[in-house]
Amino acid sequence: MNNIHILSSDITTLHCDAIVNAANRSLLGGGGVDGAIHRAAGPELLEDCRGLHGCRTGEAKITKGYRLPAKFVIHTVGPVYSGAPGDAVLLADCYRNSLDLARENGVRTIAFPAISTGVYGYPVREATKIAVDTVHKWLADNSDYPMDVTFCCFDERTRKVYEEQTARI
C-alpha cells in the first residue's frame, strides 16, 4: 500500500504532522520512546500532559509537539504483554484510536513507534501483524481522507519484521 512507509529512525527527528508516543497510563513520561519524546519536546510537553490526567490502556490523547519538528504528539498506552487474548484487542485500539484522533485534528502524516514491543514485552512479530492489519483497515475505512502512515522502527530487526508484514497486504 503506497501510503504506508517503513523507516529505521529516531521518531523524535521526524517532520510529520504527528508522532505517536508509546506512553504509560500516567502520561508523565517514562523510559524508551516516551523518555526520548519528552527530552526532545522539552518541559512544556510534561506541563501539558499533567493537565490530561492520564490515559487508559488502548486510548489516545493529543498534545502539541513543542520543540519537536512534529506539530502534535498523540499519546497512547499499549498493553503490557500478558499472553491473554485481550492484549491484541488493546493494541489494535491504540492504533485505531490514535488514527481517529489524528483525523479529528487534521493530521495528514503520522508516525508510529512499535507500541508495546519494548519494556511492555509484546513479541515483535505478533505486535507488528496487529499494527499493520489495523492501520491497513483504518486506511481502507477512511479512504475519503488522505493519510500517510510511517512505521518508525528503532532497530533493523524490527524494520525487517515490518517489511515482511507489509508485504502480505
Q: How far apart are the first and last CA of the chain?
A: 7
The arrangement of strands across the sheet holding 4-8 comes to: 4-8, 148-153, 109-112, 18-23, 72-77, 60-64
Residues near ligand ADP (CB under 6 A) are 10-12, 22, 32-34, 36, 78, 113-120, 152, 154, 158
**Strands 72-77 vs 60-64: parallel, antiparallel or unpaired:** antiparallel
Q: What is the dihedral of CA 44, 49, 52, 54, to 10 degrees?
A: -170
Instruction: Give the shortest CB-91-to-ligand ADP separation in angstroms.
Output: 9
Length of the chain: 169
Cβ closer to ligand ADP: 22 or 27?
22
Residue type, 40: A
Give the residue with the Cβ less far from ligand ADP, 11 or 101.
Answer: 11
Instruction: Work out how close the CB of 138 gets to ligand ADP at its nearest, in angstroms, rounded to a whole number.
Output: 19
**Smallest gap, in angstroms, from Cβ of residue 82 to ligand ADP?**
13
Comparing CB distances to ligand ADP, the nearer of 22 and 102 is: 22
The residues, any chain, with a CB within 8 Å of residue 84's CB and separated by 6 or more, are: none
Q: How far is the CB of 70 from ligand ADP (least distance, A)?
A: 12
By beta-carbon proximity to ligand ADP, the closer residue of 99 and 152 is: 152
